[in-house]
Amino acid sequence: MANTIALKHRIGSVKNTRQITKAMELVSASKMRRAQERAKLSRDYQVAAYDLLARLSTLKEVEIHPLFAKRKVKSRLYVVITSNSGLAGAYNYNVLKALTSSVRSDRDNGIASYVITVGSKGAQFARRLEHIQLTAVYPALGDTPSSADLWPILNTMIEEYKEKKIDQASLIYTVFVSNLKQQATVLDILPAKVAEETDKPTYKYSFTNFEPSVDVVLDSVAVRLLEIQVWQALLESLASEHSMRMAAMKNATDNANDLIDDLTLEFNTARQSAITQELAEITGGAEAIAK
């Protein structure tokens, strides 16, 4: 009898867990959709910013502008985008693995690594990581990030780049390829890149006026570009996080179902054998009395 009671308790607790994982799966599904929609909204801005840059790329001032000019890389800054909470499969692990391997290859090449983390999971990891300098730590921006949240990160990045404390800046985040595929990626964002050769427009630019000066305009365009890149990375990471959490929770729910099936079978067998044994005892007792 003790066995059946213990099994009953276990079935009950697995059912509770299943309820939670099921709820988390549904919440993640709707959050993922919202993150994807938000990412779509910034699409026009992104197209316009790249378009503008493609046109500016024909100017000779681009090559010597501080935010565009390439220099020998002696130190690199990584902006690592992770989440505050776990239970999202390999989401944080993949990003942090990419960070570790980048830092390792930097060390082999004699490049100093600086790290800015977004999300507490990244911060926890980076504090223990050797051979890096932690520049700043930000909490994850939540499900509804705003442009104001970006500025502290962008300003730090631009300032350190202009002061030549860093020679290159990269984002490490999760690309949302599809609902089933998310990939941790390293994207170089500083020095700002002009568009690929093939993207260059045929548009004549000679008579366009730049006010107050080409340099000021380039500065502003570079900042817009950084902003949209970081913004997109944040939203894609957010969508990936929720998508991976959804998958992880779906697996957990499926596992809970399997476990409940197994335990129910075990429970039924135990109950049946208890009944059989009781019957045998009763008939045995009755026969003894009849004698």
Partner 1 sequence: MIHFQILTISGKKFDDDVYEVVLPTPDGQIGVLQDHMPLITVSTTGVISIRHEQHDPDNRMDHFATYGGVIEVSDNNLKVLVDEAEHSDEINEAEAKQAMELAQKMKSEAKDQTSLEHAQGLIDRSAIRLHVAGLKHRRQH
- CA–CA dist 151, 130 (Å, integer): 28
* Site pattern 83..102 for partner 1 (x: CB under 8 A): --------------------
Binding region for partner 1 (CB under 8 A) out of 42-50, 88-96, 122-130, 169-177: 42-50
3 state DSSP class of 84: coil
In the complex, the smallest distance separating the C-beta of residue 106 from partner 1, rounded to whole angstroms, is: 29
Residue pair 222/138 in contact by the 8 Å Cβ criterion? no
SS3 135: strand
Site string for partner 1, 21-40 (x = CB under 8 A): -----------------x--
Kindly state whether residue 202 participates in binding partner 1, applying the rule CB under 8 A.
Answer: no
Residue 52 binding partner 1, by CB under 8 A: yes
Which of these segments, 15-23, 79-87, 88-96, 145-153, binds partner 1 (CB under 8 A)?
145-153
What is the smallest separation between the CB atom of 205 and partner 1, expressed in angstroms? 8
- Minimum CB separation of residue 76 from partner 1 in Å reads 25
User: How far apart are the C-alpha atoms of 82 and 95, rounded to whole Å?
Assistant: 7
- Which three-class secondary structure state does DSSP give residue 59? coil
Q: How far is the CB of 40 from partner 1 (least distance, A)?
A: 9
In degrees and rounded to multiples of 5, residue 142 shows phi and psi of 80, -175
Please give the full DSSP string across 108-133, using - where no structure is assigned. Answer: HTT-EEEEEEESHHHHHHHHH-SSEE
Assigned token pair, 108: 């082999």
The binder of partner 1 chosen from 18, 65, 224, 245 (CB under 8 A): 224
CB nearer to partner 1: pick between 16 and 203? 203
